Amino acid sequence: MRLIAELPHPDCKISIFGMNQKFIIKFEQGNLEQSYKIAEIDIIGGVNGVFELLDEEFLKSVIDQFALMRQSFNSAYSRYE
């Protein structure tokens, strides 16, 4: 897996990797991460097409998903204690 690009964002780290003819888009926020895989053939324009895919609406849904993930984990952890 090779790192292709990192995109600045105030709420999470965004990295784009290439592996086995797929783009892997990885979002990290603290101890949580989300990753999305898409075939290179499905993206027009290579990595520039990936940049276009990451519009504000999608990024907002990723950030919202992090909040849900954190809430789920904290609930599970409080039951564990």
pLDDT (tens digit, 9 = 90+) per residue, 17-57? 999 999 999 999 999 999 999 999 999 999 999 999 999 99
Residue 38 has which token pair?
Answer: 């898409």
Amino acid 81: pLDDT: 79
**How far is 75 from 32, CA to CA, in rounded Å?**
15
Q: What is the pTM of this model?
A: 0.93
32: how many CB neighbours lie within 10 A of its CB? 14
Amino acid 28: pLDDT: 98
Amino acid 38: pLDDT: 97
Distances (CA, A) of 31 to 12, 18, 76: 11, 23, 15
**How far is 71 from 36, CA to CA, in rounded Å?**
21
What distance lies between CA 14 and its chain's CA centroid? Answer: 6
